[in-house]
Amino acid sequence: MSKNFLSYKHVEFTAIRAAGPGGQNVNKVSTAVQLRFPIRTSPLPSKLKEKLLMVRDTRISNEGVIVIKAQRFRSQEKNKEDALKRLNKLVEIASYQAPPRIATKPRKGVQEKRLRGKKQNGVRKLLRGSVKHD
């Protein structure tokens, strides 16, 4: 899967005021960005949509909309890029598929060693039993 699977045309941006320190700039200018990405109406493959909806993440609403707030940078454009990168990262994580496990047979020596250990344990437990006097 490519790093930038989604572009600006697939998401909706809303400019909001950033929180935290910043003085006059943060109070006057809406540099923070809220990205909204509706999963169900997106151009993603249906399997990937299902995987995304199954992800337990606070950024995914009950309606199936991913909401990402970006306010790391002072410019709105950089915050848009940051939000889009974070969305792509979330999609990339959801699209990851673990390689199938290849079943292997244990080697003969390893199997024999395991059986010897089991036998020793059995003998040890047998010796814990009550002593019979003749």
pLDDT tens digit string along 78-123?
A: 999 999 999 999 989 888 889 999 999 999 999 999 999 999 999 9
CA distances from residue 89 to 64, 71, 93, 123, 134 in whole angstroms, order as listed: 17, 17, 6, 55, 75
Domains in the chain, start-ordered, CATH in brackets? Answer: 8-95 (3.30.160.20)
Q: Is the pTM of this model over 0.85?
A: no
What confidence score (pLDDT) does residue 19 get? 81
Asked if 19 and 44 count as a contact pair (C-beta separation under 8 A), the reply is no
